Each structure stands twice: as structure tokens, then as C-alpha cells.
A and B are shown apart, each in its own frame.
Chain A
Amino acid sequence: MHFMLLFSRQGKLRLQKWYTATAERDKKKMVRELMQIVLARKPKMCSFLEWRDLKIVYKRYASLYFCCAIEEQDNELITLEVIHRFVELLDKYFGSVCELDIIFNFEKAYFILDEFLMGGEIQDTSKKSVLKAIEQADLLQEFH
């Protein structure tokens, strides 16, 4: 995976994770371009599109769009489920997650994503293992 973006229907970027070295200016340009493309698409359209040399896989959850850029030979459907599993993790952690949770606890959202994906590849697909890692970290925070 090259990057993952979370943005709102209003076009506000809520989370960005880049797995390949990209210059800040290019990042901004790519984000703008992709948001425009994805936000313009209608609900029944397919969740995949070709963009530059990459494939974009996106899905909307309530007011948030989750958008991943993968390579030509990567599997689109399993990427959709990567997104879903990430949403499940956020949901489990925050307890029925909403956009505000991600805004106010952005650092937690990053930590959860880091436990789940690393370098753009899945580290663990088990919800339990990932959450256990996060809970442990939270415990460490409280006791020190």
C-alpha cells in the first residue's frame, strides 16, 4: 500500500499515512486531487479506480471516506476489508466511533493504524491481538 487517507465529506483531511517517501508538496497535491475525484463519485459506483500508476480503493463510512492507494498487482477486495477491519478496530476502541473521536484523539487513531498496518502491509489481522497491543499501551500510560 502506498498511502491511506481519511477525509470527510466536506473535504477535510482527518488522517494521512504515507508508506512511500513523498515530498510534502506532492502529498498535498495528491490529496487534493484524490479528494476531488472520490467526493465526486456517486454512491452506487464501484469502489475502485485507476489513478496515475496506482489503484485507489475507497469506502465511505458515515461522513468519512477511507481511501487506500495500492499497486497494480494488489488485491482490491482484500484492501476493502483492510479498511473495514481498521474501522472495526477504531469502533471497538472508541466504542462506536465517530468523526469527532478521530479529530480529538488523532494520535490514538495513528497508534491503532500503526498496530494494524506497518510499512503498508498488514501486521496482524486478528482484532484481539491488535486491540490487546493498544490496551497494553494504555495501561502503561496509566501506571507510570
Chain B
Amino acid sequence: MPAVSKGDGMRGLAVFISDIRNCKSKEAEIKRINKELANIRSKFKGDKALDGYSKKKYVCKLLFIFLLGHDIDFGHMEAVNLLSSNKYTEKQIGYLFISVLVNSNSELIRLINNAIKNDLSSRNPTFMCLALHCIANVGSREMAEAFASEIPRILVAGDTMDSVKQSAALCLLRLYKTSPDLVLMGEWTSRVVHLLNDQHMGVVTAAISLITCLSQKNPDEFKTCVSLAVSRLSRIVSSASTDLQDYTYYFVPAPWLSCKLLRLLQCYPPPEDGAVKGRLVECLETILNKAQEPPKSKKVQHSNAKNAILFEAISLIIHYDSEPNLLVRACNQLGQFLQHRETNLRYLALESMCTLASSEFSHEAVKTHIETVINALKTERDVSVRQRAADLLYAMCDRSNAKQIVAEMLSYLETADYSIREEMVLKVAILAEKYAVDYSWYVDTILNLIRIAGDYVSEEVWYRVIQIVINRDDVQGYAAKTVFEALQAPACHENMVKVGGYILGEFGNLIAGDPRSSPLVQFNLLHSKFHLCSVPTRALLLSAYIKFINLFPETKATIQEVLRCDSQIRNSDVELQQRAVEYLKLSSIASTDVLATVLEEMPPFPERESSILAKLKKKKGPGAVSVTELEDSKREGGELNGGGDRGQDTATMAASNASTPSPSADLLGIRSTAPLGAAPASAGSLLVDVFSEAGPTAPSAAVNDDGFLRFVCKNNGVLFENQLLQIGIKSEYRQNLGRMYLFYGNKTSVQFASFTTTVSCPGELQSQLNVQTKPVEPLVEGGAQIQQVLNIECLTDFSDAPLLNIKFRYGGALQNLTLKLPVTINKFFQPTEMTSHDFFQRWKQLSQPQQEAQKIFKANNSMDTEVLKAKLLGLGTALLDNVDPNPENYVCAGVIQTKSQQVGCLLRLEPNAQAQVQHTDSPERVSHNYSSIPNFLHYLSPYSVNI
């Protein structure tokens, strides 16, 4: 029996609960419950009207049964009846039942809403609170529709009791979270913000949750909350530990409210007003100082509350990322926690330091703790803490400490928990690549990785080591020697066999001089692994063998013997059989010269984003190390490949895969389709591939203009895509006006918060182009897409492009992205038809130097007539047939429409098929001096490079 039963206990309920607890088996429990359900059902259906107490008791029993995990399909009506009881206790049970067991029975919802409406207007604060709780607990769309407009009024009304205000604030928050479109603050905004000044701390505590959520979505409308929050925070921080009476928690003044205030401030940039900012910095300093003071209590609650504020303050400092002094102090404080006896603090310190590591001001300070972090990786008993330590090591890694960190991570990997091995492997592989100064170290590291954790080494990792070895001739000999040695191990991982096979097939000759690794020894070593391997690996080995025949003619007989045996040439696997047959034939009939050409060394791979980096991004999501950080450090780190892929961080997974050999891809196939190291471009991605190799203008590191050039000749498509976000574009132009639709798609399952986009016209573009838009919704749900419309007006000719800046929070990390918007002068072309006579007459008139521009460039792809025509039309001009006497030439004309002037433009493209050279000629000027013509051609030229 219960020890205490306060209020009016329900004896029958207590007996029933006792019975259930005494049941010896699940079956007995179910039997008892069924008995009770039958009893309740008969009471509810009986002729005798039940009194309120009985009804309450039975409803409560049903609730208990439901919470035990059993289904309840009746009793809802009785619960709804209880809502209109005058007895608080009955009403309360009714509401509890509804809150837990609401279903979308529309009949019931109407009745429930009715009861809620009555209670809200009852002016009885306890009843009002019950009703508000019910709305918040259910939080359904129907409830939002019924009450969203009523609750703000209750919240700000002067005569509302404090307790009701608190409930109203949080109720509104819940409705806002489920149906933001129905909660319109409008006229209430300023009064809600001023709740931050309320005398009652409870009201402030409840209201601030609402204000924070609203500010995240409408930062501008709520920005007055910043100065109010700062002054409130300042008052709390400077108060003595007893000033706030009941709001002091274990000698810490108002810890919850402090944390919430600091969190609210993280929705905004640092305050612009100097005085406010000064006051805030003072608060942050005080909080850091307090952390150094001796504790006022030994209780863990005291230190938790105090440190909760401290960590929130550090988050704000990191969010601002502008006060070097505070950042370094924060780092030192966290450094102390790294060795704290509380596991919780060590965990949080490691986590928080990860973000500090990415700030330029505190990166060095974080690095000084390397030994402690390595120690944590080795000695922490809790895997989740070790995981944080590994994350932090990864985040603090740079060129100066890469060797040490990689070595530590490798040794940790030997005993690491299975759950985190794959991620660890990727991280090691990335660090090794990013900070490799000498490539033998890189090769050693990756081979060690395969040795220690072969099962967790994904394809991307071993593809990558091969790409790099192939692209760096200074490491090829070393790589061949090292794989040869690694393959000597009696049991070696299949991934090692793959790398070994590939590398020896390419570069086995570099170590063949040593009799210990003579061609035959190499071949026998590889072939000794053959039978233990899976089909794709065997296929790869067969390709290595045919390469051996070319490299070492003396192995030909042996290898032909192997290829000829039944297990190869009659293998049940078609791929293996085909390779065996073809390679055998090739080796028998082709002359040495042909063989040498066909089986030539692999050409270098085109450099794109590291495929493993893409893999980590895909895997990690909102991890401790954000994608942006990774890429930042990548930029600063200098890449293996001479910085060739700067600004190409967005190359998609697919693109990198295109450049990696697949284990089943025929070596010959790769050889013949990639003569110059350029992967064959499919028709659809014609432009993507070429442009991603080298943009003609060096893009500034911060602005991503990968997508930009693809849109010179088209108006719709995907402008940008990474693991998180896809931005699609649709645009239409008419005379000097344009409208662009931007579609932002959240590719993750997690909501993006504080999503803001800003379009700016840098420099003189401001006076040349007028771009107008409305702000977007600040929340993008996982999987959702939002749209933004830009209205564009071309005032006069221009050469720069407007910039689109996108900021949002994904998980905890702020993502920041700037793209060039593809608004180019040619968008304002109006095609003009003219006769041959007109065309050449005008052409000849345009003889002054500034009226003419000419460019000769090499075509990268075959000059296909249809493709060329499509592009010239896409440019916006009219393509004029039968104008040029030479039918091979293309002639175009159009008028560029700006607000201030119209500029005619003539264009001639003269392909020279033999030399693969093209010739563009002379856009024309009709009225004024046309200064952007060179620029216009400049747009044209990268496009043309591709023709």
C-alpha cells in the first residue's frame, strides 16, 4: 500500500495498482487488467448514472492501464465529461487523460475545445492554467486553430495573474512550434518582449523561452530584446547569492534564467550599441571570474548550476567569435575542466573546445592542451568521453601536430570501440592526406590504417591512396616497396590486397631491380592471396597481371598459364571469365608496342574534392566538427595536390566517384576513356566538369562560384549543392527586368534554424543593378524546401554579379555560405533578327577599338553543331541563319536592355575544326560607349572554352 496518499486518494485505484504489482506473471497481469476493463466498461454502460468520483476513479484506472502499455479504446467520452465538472480534482483527471490519450476523433476535439474555452474564460486562474496545460500538452493543429489568437491576449493582459501568464507564454510557444503560421504576434510583439522586464522572475523565465523561439524566426522584429536581456543578465550576475530568494539555486542566482538569457543573445550578433556591448562583456567577464572563486557549497548542484551558466557564456563567446581576450580565457577555463574529477565536466569541456579550435583567436590556445586530450583518449573509461577526445584531436589538428595526432589516433584505433571505428578511420585518412608533407608518411599511415582496421576502411579511403600515389611520382617507388612488404604478412586484409595489386600492377617495375622483389616474386606474392579474395578483388588482380605482362615480359608465360587454367577462363563469374579470356587473347596477339600503349601507366587523376571528405560529411551530419570547419582548415592547410581544388569543396560525391577507379572497372577501360586525365563528361554535366577544373578568374576563397558559370547560358537548374543544402534556381527575364526564384532545400532530416539569406550588390554594382527580395522563413524543416523570389532590374550595364549570403544553424554549428548569383548582362539580351546585308553593314561600322573585341580559344570538347547552337541561343541572342557566307560560322545579334540605354550586340563564332580553335568576333555598339563589352566577352569566354 502507498506510503502517502495526499488530497483525496482513490482507494479503489490503490487496490487495483497493488493487485497488478502482485501479479506473478505477464499473463496474470493481463488477466487482471481484462477483468478491470470489463468492470469499467459495464459501469460506464450501466443504467445507473455514475457520480463524479466514480467516473474520475475509473478514468484514472484506464489511464494507469494505458501507461502500463496496454491499448485503451473507450472512456474518452467520460473523460471529456469530467472536463466540465465543477470539482477541480475531477476536471484535473479529465484533462490528464485527454493530454495523454487524445485522438483525432473530431467529435471529441470539438467537445474538448468547448470545455477549454469555458475554462479559459472562467477567470478562475487554476482552471485557466489547467486549460492552458491541456492545449500545450496536446499541441495539435486543431487546438492551434481554436486558440492561437486568444492566448497572446491572455499573456499580455494587465489583469492576468502571474501563474496564468507563465502558462500562457509556454502554451503559446508550444503552438508556435507546431503551427507557426497560426501564431501571429504582430501588435503584441513589443509587449511580449517587455515581459523580460517583468518583476516576477517566474514570468520572465517562462516568457524568455517563448521570446527566444520567436527571435530565432523573426530576429528583426524582436531585436529590442537584446538590450533588455543584457540588462536583466547584468542584474542577475551582479546580485549576491541570496538576493533572489527562491530563485537562487544552491547559492547560484537564477541559473535557469541566466542560461536562457545567454541563449537568447546567441540568436543575435554582438550588440552594436557600445554601452550595451560593454555591459555584456562585463557580465561575461564576471561569469568567467566566478568560475575561479572557491565554491560556496560542496554540493554538485551548486557546481552544476554555476557551470551551466559558464558553458552557456562560453557558447556565446564562441558565437560572437570577436573577443580574442574572452576566447582565450574561455579556452583556459575549459583546459582546467579537462582534468576535472567530474566526468561530466571533462565531457563538456572536450565538446566545447572542439568549437573553440575552429576560431582563429583560440586555435593556438586549444592546441596547448594536446597532451591532456591524448591522455583522455587513452585513459577515459567512458567511450562517449573518448569519442569527444577524438573529435577534439581532429579539430585541433594542423600541420604542426598532425604527425603526433595521427599516430595517437592510429594507436587508439587498435582498441577503439567498434561503434566509432569507421569514423575514426575516415578522420585519420583525412588528416593524413590534408597535412602530408612527405608522401611516404601518408602512404605508411594509410597502409597502417588498412592493417589495423581493414574492415572499417571504406572504398573511398583506398581509392584515395591510389589516386594520390598515381598523381605523385615521387612516392610511387616507396609505395610499391611498402605494399610489397605489407603483403608479406601471412594474413593480410583484402583491402591491402587491392591496394597492393593496383600499385604493383602500375609501379612494380620500380622495385623489380631488387632480387628479393623480382617480377616473379611479386607475381607469386599477389597470386598467393588470389584464392582467398572476393570476386571484385580477383578482377582487380587479373588486371594487375596483364599489366605485369607489359611491365615484365619474362612473366608472360607464367601469367598466361594462370589465365588459361579452367578456374579463370571458365570461371562461373562472367566478369572474371571475360577478363581472363580477353587478357589472355590480348597478351597473345598484340605486339609489344600495342601492348605498351594499351597498358600504359595510369594517367593522373583529375583533382577534385577528396572523396573521403565527402564521405565523412555524409556520415557525420551535425557532428562536433562541422563541415565548414573542415573546409576552412583544409583551405588553410594547403592540399596535397598543390591547391588545385581550392574553392571546389562542393564537388559532389558523384563527381569524385567518377574519377576513382572502381574495383570492377577495367583498367583498360579507364585508360581508353580518360586520355588526358579528364573523366568523360556525360552530356548533362558538360559544363560542370570543365568548369570545375579551373575557373578563368581566380575565385576568392570565400565566395563559391562553382555553379555560377553554368548559368550563363541557362536560367534554370541547381545552383549549389552540398551534403546539407540544395539551392535550385528558376529565372525569367523580360527587357531590363528579371525575376528569379530561389529554392532552398534542406537535404537533412534535421531542421535548419536561423536561416537567413541576404542578397547584396558589391561595389559599383549597387548603382547598376537593383535587386529586391523579402526575407525567408527562418526555419527550414528537415526535408523541406522554401522559396524566395528576387526582383531584378538592370539599370545600366554591369560586370560583377550580386552575392547571395546564406546563414543557418545546422545542429549547433553555424553554416555560412556565399554564392555568386548568376545574373549576367546577357540575361537582358533581346534577340534581334536581321538580314545578312544589315548585319555586315553594321558590323563594318563598328570599327573603333572599344567597340570591338576578339578572342581565340581552344575548344575543350568536340564542336557539336547542335550543342553550340543551343548555347548561343541560351546566351539570349538570336541565331541568324544564312547570314555569314561561310556556313561553318555562327552569327548572332541581340540588344541588351538596360534602364538607361539599349546596346546592340553582334557576335560571330568561327570554329576551326582542324585546330579545334574558335574565334569570336566583335559585339557591336549602337548608342553609347559600351564599356562592359570586354566583360561580356569574359563571360562568354569561359563558356566558349567548353564548346
Contacts and interface: CB of A to CB of B under 8 A. Distances in A.
**Most interface-central of A47, A84, A98, A119 (chain B CB within 10 A):** A119
A128 B2 CA distance: 25
Interface in A92-144: 93-95, 98, 100-101, 103-108, 110-111, 114, 118-129, 133, 136-138, 140-142, 144
Contact of B209 (A80, A122, A128): A122
A62 interface: no
A73 B449 CA distance: 34
Top 4 A-B pairs ranked by shortest CB distance? A104-B2, A119-B174, A77-B308, A140-B88
B87 interface: yes
A121 B87 CA distance: 28
Contacts of A140: 88-89, 126
Given A45-B343, A127-B246, A144-B88, A107 B60 contact: yes
B385 A111 contact: no
Interface stretch (B163-171, B423-431, B481-489): B163-171
B136 A46 contact: no
A61 to B, nearest CB: 13
A114 to B, nearest CB: 5
A64 interface: no
Interface string A7-21: 000000100100101
Nearest to B347: A46
A124 B811 CA distance: 27
B348 A76 contact: yes
A104 B133 CA distance: 23
Contacts of B256: 78, 81-82, 122, 125
B2 A100 contact: yes
A33 interface: no
Contacts of A142: 7-8
Nearest to B749: A53
Nearest to B753: A73
24 contacts: A13-B69, A42-B382, A44-B343, A46-B344, A46-B382, A48-B344, A72-B622, A76-B344, A76-B348, A77-B311, A78-B312, A108-B6, A111-B96, A114-B133, A118-B170, A119-B174, A119-B177, A120-B174, A123-B205, A124-B166, A126-B247, A141-B8, A141-B87, A141-B89
A138 B6 contact: yes
Contacts of A29: none
Contact of B92 (A45, A49, A98, A137): A137
A137 B93 CA distance: 12
Given A72-B811, A136-B126, 5 more contacts: A46-B385, A73-B809, A118-B206, A119-B173, A125-B205
Given A84-B301, A123-B206, A125-B205, A53 B93 contact: no
Contacts of B17: 103-104
A105 B5 CA distance: 7
Contacts, number: 195
Interface string A42-62: 101111111001000000000
B491 interface: no
B7 A141 contact: yes
Contact of B308 (A13, A21, A75, A94): A75
B344 A47 contact: yes
Contacts of B209: 121-122
Interface in B296-311: 301, 304-305, 307-308, 311
Given A53-B750, A77-B304, A77-B311, A107 B382 contact: no
Interface in B303-354: 304-305, 307-308, 311-312, 343-344, 346-348
Contact of A122 (B9, B67, B88, B205): B205
A104 B249 contact: no
A126 B3 contact: no
Nearest to B172: A119
Nearest to B810: A72
B257 interface: yes
A144 B87 contact: yes
B63 interface: yes
Nearest to A140: B88
Interface in B275-306: 301, 304-305
A42 B5 CA distance: 34
A1 B163 CA distance: 21
A100 B1 CA distance: 8
Interface in B44-61: 60
B201 interface: yes
B911 interface: no
B812 interface: yes
**Most interface-central of A108, A125, A133 (chain B CB within 10 A):** A125
A53 to B, nearest CB: 6
A35 B725 CA distance: 34
A37 B129 CA distance: 36
A141 B382 CA distance: 49
Given A46-B343, A124-B205, A133 B305 contact: no
A126 B88 CA distance: 23
A93 B5 CA distance: 10
Contacts of B259: 75, 78
A114 B170 CA distance: 11
Contacts of B346: 46
B202 interface: yes
Contacts of A46: 343-344, 346-347, 382, 384-385
B664 interface: no
B86 interface: yes
A119 B139 contact: yes
A77 B622 CA distance: 21
B559 to A, nearest CB: 52
A98 B1 CA distance: 13
A81 B126 contact: no
Nearest to A143: B88
A50 B384 contact: yes
A119 B811 contact: no
A126 B344 contact: no
Given A121-B173, A123-B170, A81 B163 contact: no
A141 B170 contact: no
Interface in B29-76: 60, 63-64, 67, 69
Contact of B206 (A110, A111, A122): A122
Contacts of A100: 2-3
Contacts of A53: 622, 749-750, 811
B249 A81 contact: yes
Nearest to B305: A81
B6 A77 contact: no
B307 A77 contact: yes
Contacts of A103: 2, 17, 21
A101 B202 contact: no
Given A121-B170, A141-B88, A105 B343 contact: no
A59 to B, nearest CB: 10
Contacts of B249: 81, 85, 125
Nearest to B206: A123
Contact of A123 (B63, B86, B166): B166
